[in-house]
Structure 1
């Protein structure tokens, strides 16, 4: 884990000197919108299991919601972390990686599936000073009904999605998914429904 984050710090430093090539970097962020969140809902099994194994990462404190002030520099940093993690982690399904249907973990061995990418991006963004309250693990449905996980970044310009399937940081409405639920801004161990009620996928990911 330290190795991956250490590489990221170096990469971000090189990016400042123009040495890290990230195709998705843009002149500045678009304006997005905010997803309508509903009542508390079930917590994904993968998050519960992750917290049982990583208790220090899952404190139950209540926080005041915060947003990222999204200027061009902040957006480029978010893009770089998204692209860096996508390029650094080899995709693998949980069944092949852990022998489990759904296991969330940091990809310390350089391999993982969608929620592992999202966990690492969340941690790296916090290491760069972005507030945890604005970095929300999110469960979505793909068009075929499969479960998938992304990281929602809440900013003063709306909400954006970091996805292991693309290096482009997109406004959430431009992501090709049905949004199901995500972490609450007030408490990371509480999850809230997104939009109209929908049945949550049994497992977050059926493929890497």
Structure 2
């Protein structure tokens, strides 16, 4: 498996220098634009997510009311990269329209899928490896083409990391080219929060042109 490091700071902090994970993260209880996304008002969940939960109610149960921001150890970073690589390499990108004949359908993929299908599978595999669902947040963005796109945000002590199917590397959210729109709440997977101060209640389709 390829092991990608999001930034030089992460490499120095986790793989052998005097910097600690706590030195890479802001003061506990405070969000920082440098490492953590700011959350605003409640937002509507994507319609595809609502339909997914209707079909898979056990997959959308509320988890722990206490969000967990795990310390990003080398072992956990390796695990993130392994799952990210595994799913990106196993699933071929295809739009929901081409695969199912509908504009948007969220589901676990077999060998093909749209961006949200990659996210759902990565989320499930990481949860099976012990990651709390409160740290695995489905996130809606606009990509560089202006299309709606879904990524998985993993909240850690070092900051918010983004697992994506359009690029192989894992990056801190601030190091991606995306416009972040909304994501799941850390306290309730069925509640969504806006990542934009002035755009909390907009609906977004997350299907776009498939690519890696």
User: CA offsets per residue over residues 130-149 of structure 1, 9 Å max, x none?
Assistant: 11100000000113321000
Tell me if structure 2 keeps the 8 A contact 1:146–1:201: no
Paired residues of 2:62 and 2:190 also in contact (CA < 8 A): yes
Structure 1 residue aligned with 2:74? 72
**Equivalent residue for 2:44, pick from 42, 45, 64:** 42
Q: What is the CA distance between 1:61 and its match in structure 2? A: 5.3
Deviation at 1:25, TM superposition (A): 6.0
Alignment of 1:95-110 (within 5 A): 95-107=97-109, 109-110=110-111
Aligned-pair CA distance for 1:200? 4.5
Q: Which residue of 2 aligns with 1:127?
A: 128
Query: Using the alignment, how far apart are the partners of 2:123 and 2:3 within structure 1?
Result: 21
Q: 5 Å matches for 1:76-95?
A: 76-95=78-97
1:41-76: CA deviation from partner (whole Å, max 9, x where unpaired)? 111101000001111111145621111210111101
Q: Quote how far apart the aligned CAs of 1:196 are.
A: 2.7
TM-score normalized with structure 1 length: 0.84
* Cα deviation code 1:71-96 (max 9, x no counterpart): 11110110111011000001110001
- Give unpaired runs (5+ residues) of structure 1: 1-20
The answer to whether the 8 Å contact 2:3/2:78 transfers is no
How many aligned positions are there?
187
The TM-score, its normalising length taken from structure 2, stands at: 0.82
Between Structure 1 and Structure 2, the one with more strand by share is 1
Aligned partner of 2:154 in structure 1 is 153
Is this contact kept in 1: 2:46–2:203, CA < 8 A? no
Distance 1:202 1:40 in 2: 15
Which stretches of structure 1, 4 residues or longer, exceed 3 Å deviation after superposition?
A: 25-32, 198-202
Indicate if the aligned counterparts of 1:182 and 1:192 stay in contact, CA closer than 8 A.
yes
Q: CA RMSD in A?
A: 1.9
Distance 2:46 2:64 in 1: 19
Q: Look up the match of 2:195.
A: 194
Q: How far, CA to CA, are the matches of 1:202 and 1:193 in structure 2?
A: 12
